[in-house]
Chains A and B, each alone.
Chain A
Amino acid sequence: MHSSIGLDGDFKVKTALERTKVEDIFSYEGCKVGRGTYGHVYKAKRKDGSDTREYALKLIEGTGISMSACREIALLRELRHPNVINLQKVFLSMSDRKVWLLFDYAEHDLWHIIKFHRAAKQSKKLVSTPTSMVKSLLHQILDGIRYLHHNWVLHRDLKPANILVMGDGAERGRVKIADMGFARLFNCPLKSFADLDPVVVTFWYRAPELLLGARHYTKAIDIWAIGCIFAELLTSEPIFHCRQEDIKVSNPYHREQLDKIFNVMGYPNERDWEDIKCMPEYSQMTKEFKKQNFHNLSLTKYSEKHKIKADGAAFALLSKMLIMDPTKRLTSDEALKDPYFSEDPQPTSDVFHGFAIPYAKREFITDDEEKEDPSKTAAAPSTVTIPSTAAGPSNDVSHNQRPAVKKIKLEPGQPGHGHDYHGHQAMHGHSGQSASSSSIASNNAGPSRNYPAQQQQPRY
């Protein structure tokens, strides 16, 4: 340990006495519910029982105040909206230079919710995501994002795992947008975004302009991601699902992901997206893609195939969020005014609309499991038994894949990729290591693909 110079001894003693220690206030041992490059998340309760609420404690990976921790704390300290995760307190542990963030506990997230419905669909149990719930979810996501955008904050990494939903309790069925670690101010870019985080948004939810090398993040990029989530809620399948092994992290251009988008949306023509010619990777794209390979494809066709009514309000709104040209995409303000939300059923503040919640509670991760033991016993009290299929179409870990590297720039001291543990299935691969996932499509005899395992733990 370095000698502590410049700090007064009495000052250190005095502040140590005044400081509340996280371990004195909260019990959380053995209650880990999430693990990732970002750190650990624990389900916690107050030791003194002064309230019986559940909290989420996030222990930030590494020591000290990394740039992303810094941004996260700076922004969360200011943000306050019912649909944005609320930072209650920061605990700074001087002795080990650890940073803990305290949040309200959210029992569910869209990753698990969609997975539940997808499994039900595959086992022909037909528990489709209730249409009223989809609408309420989307409304609250848009409300939270509108707030962030009005405050000049971009999320940049919206995906189902980052959309939390509160379980039974005071805020039952309320959406909480989480994982703002990469959110940043963008009204005064001191540095171009591309220089800071070369790849940020998970590929499946990445807007086409990002894949074509756009240098600056925009609000429209978040809207695209919400459009993708909306589609996924409607069909229980990721709309732009893509294999991962070809991803080159350092390069924003991603042929396969673009191919995926064009296969749904059709090839972008310059009439609809005038500025596409100005995209840094435009020439690369024209070299690698042939327009004629994508003729007769459109979001309408995709929707028909997936039983989204093409004349319905949901599709009308979806098609305005998934517009290739970012300048033509809806804003969150416009989306919230869409007729979809004014026609019945109206969105509700409890997305479950008072119905019993069929989704399992989060399970605890033990440290043994973290060491890649895929079998696990649920330590969490579970009021609802979920169908066995809800654990995923396959329990064979090698068939699961992650969509993308969550975090490209690992802070020094962060664990390597293989350390990530992902709930029901132990995830061995990060992008570069997920070659085993190539069998994903052939593994499933059913009409649809295996559900891809990505971030399935709460990310606050």
Chain B
Amino acid sequence: MAGNFWLSSHFQQWLFDRQDLIRERQEDYQVLTEEEYQKVMIFFANVMQAIGEPLKMKQQVIATATIYFKRFYIRNSLSSVDPLLMAPTCLFLASKVDEFGVQSNNRFIEVCRNVVKTKFGYAFQQEFQYRMPNIFECEFYLLEMMDCCLIVFHPYRPLVQFCQELGTSLDKKDQHQQDLILQTAWKTINDTLRTDICLLYPPYLVALACMQVACIILGKDFKQWFAELSVDIDKCVEVVKLILNLYDMWKTFDEKKEIPALLAKIPKPKSSPR
């Protein structure tokens, strides 16, 4: 549903403020710091990206899955469902919503196994143990916890529109800059999926912030154009800051070294009630 974001379940039910997130994650914040939690989220976003790519899933499907994953763990602690089961389940469901659908269940599990083994072996002692029945079961819980809100709005479409608008305001000789900004900002949007930004801000604002970050990276100055937009510049600056914070953190984040210890801190789901 690409209709009206302001009437969507995304806007009405799935945008939070920072305090909401802190409160909802209380249980996890007992065992992980905020930064550690974010690192775990980054790690599983990477897992989803790595599974989605060989399955030729579109970036938008992977983005949707990443948001499903975050939504589930807002409502539930990381120990309620093994994130390694939830990550592929999110991809599986998102691929159906975005109408690609996984081509073959066997291949899907095979790719999960391979990716976990070859790319993330450092993080997991065991092989990927889940099979389709586990995915199916988990999928029901995911759908339930998301209150059946499956349509997610992404910043990609507003980004394209903003870039076109920017393009029309440019001189002919500067037209190519529009494409450069689009490409850079597109990648920045992918990076925002490694943060809470998509839970905190509407997609159009994220798109603008990513354009600003792109301008910083490319050393361009379109202050005038941004100023003429009727948007909350302060909010936009908040998003830019969060993106820059992520880049700062990335500089020192050594996944291979840190992730095993972080995962070890998360209590494992117990199959029978305690």
Contact = CB atoms under 8 A, between A and B. Distances in A.
A77 B141 contact: no
Contact of B80 (A8, A67, A184, A196): A8
Contacts of A152: 1-3
B32 interface: no
If over half of B's interface residues share one DSSP class (helix, strand or loop), that class is named, otherwise mixed; here it is: loop
B274 A10 contact: yes
A5 B61 CA distance: 26
Given A65-B93, A77-B9, A9 B1 contact: no
A440 to B, nearest CB: 37
A442 interface: no
Contacts of A4: 134, 137, 271
Interface in B140-185: 140-141, 143-144, 148-151, 157
A150 B150 CA distance: 19
A19 B93 CA distance: 21
A10 B138 CA distance: 15
Among B9, B84, B131, B144: residue with most chain A CB under 10 A:
B144
A170 interface: no
Interface in B1-26: 1-4, 7-9
A364 B144 CA distance: 31
Interface string A37-69: 000000000000000000000000000110100
Contact of B97 (A13, A64, A74): A74
A290 interface: no
Contact of B274 (A7, A9, A94, A196): A9
Interface stretch (A187-195, A231-239, A257-265): A187-195
A65 B271 contact: no
B58 interface: yes
Interface in A1-53: 2-13, 15, 19
Nearest to B130: A6
Given A2-B134, A11-B269, A74-B151, A153 B1 contact: yes
Interface residues of A, number: 41
Nearest to B268: A8
Contacts of A64: 136, 139-140
B81 interface: yes
Nearest to B100: A190
Given A152-B1, A153-B1, A6 B138 contact: yes
B99 A67 contact: yes
A90 B269 CA distance: 27
A59 to B, nearest CB: 15
Given A94-B140, A190-B58, A79 B270 contact: no
Contact of A151 (B1, B136, B148): B1
Interface of A: 2-13, 15, 19, 64-65, 67, 70-71, 73-75, 77-80, 90, 92, 94, 97, 150-153, 184-185, 187-188, 190-191, 196
Interface of B: 1-4, 7-9, 58, 60-61, 76, 79-82, 84-85, 93, 96-101, 129-131, 133-134, 136-141, 143-144, 148-151, 157, 269-274
Given A65-B96, A78-B151, A185-B1, 9 more contacts: A2-B134, A7-B81, A9-B269, A10-B270, A64-B140, A75-B151, A77-B9, A184-B99, A196-B99
